[in-house]
Structure 1
């Protein structure tokens, strides 16, 4: 239908626009599908993913502000630093171990599997944040919407989870 619209609109909707729209629908649609699937299949795995994302994001910001010297990808996100990225992942890993050991979640996975999954999810969540930053830069906008003024838009609240939740399901943490 989008390709047909490019023809019928005399190219007012370009092929680039149709491609970007299609990719956006897939990115957001699949991300939220797996968000709901992870929640439905295993509540603890879902909460585990939320904790990893929130801790990584929060402590990357805190540690990056205090200790950050080396820019991660300045053209995409000028305030993110390697120190913040590594610090956020380290804090998330420590708390993930405590979470896993203090809940029934640890009975399903070894400590090595919990640490490996945390590292994967923490790094993937940061890539989710960078993807959304790159998307905003590409379209020349500061925020992805106006629903949450001053917070980068609603997509900023879910950008990491749109990448993390599919990984949680695909690597079997919901089993």
Structure 2
């Protein structure tokens, strides 16, 4: 417990000034976190991140996260996705150059890894680009979901949510997480009106919050499924007592793209 608390305090000391400052600071930090996320997935599958496919996978995730158009204004507005596709072409070139010793199927893992990690972190950067409040809103509802699901599940949970993937999660806990997220969102949006922050009405934002909470929990289950498949407890150990980057951001990797899809930033 002491290790968890120390890690959390240190992480907050680093993370809070970065998200407040925004701009290049959060863009660089988020790109680095995406690179670490790719490394963690490679390590789970016992692949060498120092290989050509490791370098390409990291490059692909960073191309998705870092807003290259902002600094290289001559590039098209969809430059992130074009650059990512060039990385995909690089993997396909490896298939040809190796004369199918490196196969199309093998290329699928690093490509999907880059997309999964890069896309989620890309929209974290976009959320901060919208406003600090937009980013904080997402963080608060995910944290509220986690805390609510844990507390309600521990106290009242009896029916398993997905026993073959995450045996400790319950339906009651999941519903408690959604309710807790909605309550926290209500308090947040009463202090910072929904119309001013997101240009949406309060009822719509509360409905959205319930949906975001469910997607966040699904993101958590996806990460649990990946770890169970590869037989690991945590995605990594970069955060002592908390696991890896993907352990901490698995829910947010799903929530941020959905928030973008719903037009919040």
Are 2:220 and 1:141 aligned? no
Select the structure with the greater relative contact order (CA < 8 A; seq sep ≥ 6): 1
Cα root mean square deviation, aligned: 1.8
Are 2:203 and 1:112 aligned? yes
Contact map agreement 1:44 1:105 (CA 8 A) in 2: no
Are 2:253 and 1:162 aligned? yes
Map 1:88-127 onto structure 2 (within 5 A).
88-107=177-196, 108-127=199-218
Q: CA deviation at 1:55?
A: 0.5
Q: CA deviation at 1:160?
A: 0.6
Aligned-partner Cα distance in 1 for 2:217–2:132:
22
Structure 2 stretches lacking a partner, 5+ long? 1-89
Question: Structure 1 133/10 Cα, relative in aligned 2: closer, same or farther at 3 Å?
Answer: farther
Q: CA deviation at 1:125?
A: 0.4
Aligned-partner Cα distance in 2 for 1:13–1:67:
50
Are 2:131 and 1:28 aligned? no
Q: Secondary structure, in 3 states, of the residue corresponding to 1:93?
A: helix
Contact map agreement 2:194 2:205 (CA 8 A) in 1: no
Q: CA deviation at 1:89?
A: 0.7
**Number of corresponding residues:** 174
Which of residues 202, 220, 241 is equivalent to 1:129? 220
Q: CA deviation at 1:9?
A: 5.0
Q: TM-score, normalised by structure 1?
A: 0.90
Question: Structure 1 28/71 Cα, relative in aligned 2: closer, same or farther at 3 Å?
Answer: same
Q: Secondary structure, in 3 states, of the residue corresponding to 1:117?
A: helix
Contact map agreement 2:194 2:202 (CA 8 A) in 1: no
Q: Secondary structure, in 3 states, of the residue corresponding to 2:168?
A: strand
1:41-88 alpha-carbon deviations (Å, 9 max, x no partner)? 122121111111000011101111111100000111111000100001
Structure 1 stretches lacking a partner, 5+ long? none
Aligned-partner Cα distance in 2 for 1:72–1:12:
41
Q: Secondary structure, in 3 states, of the residue corresponding to 1:79?
A: strand
Q: TM-score, normalised by structure 2?
A: 0.61
Question: Structure 1 55/41 Cα, relative in aligned 2: closer, same or farther at 3 Å?
Answer: same
- What does residue 56 of structure 2 align with? none
> Looking at CA atoms only, which structure, 1 or 2, has the larger radius of gyration?
2
1:97-135 alpha-carbon deviations (Å, 9 max, x no partner)? 111011133543222112111011100100110111111
Q: CA deviation at 1:167?
A: 1.5
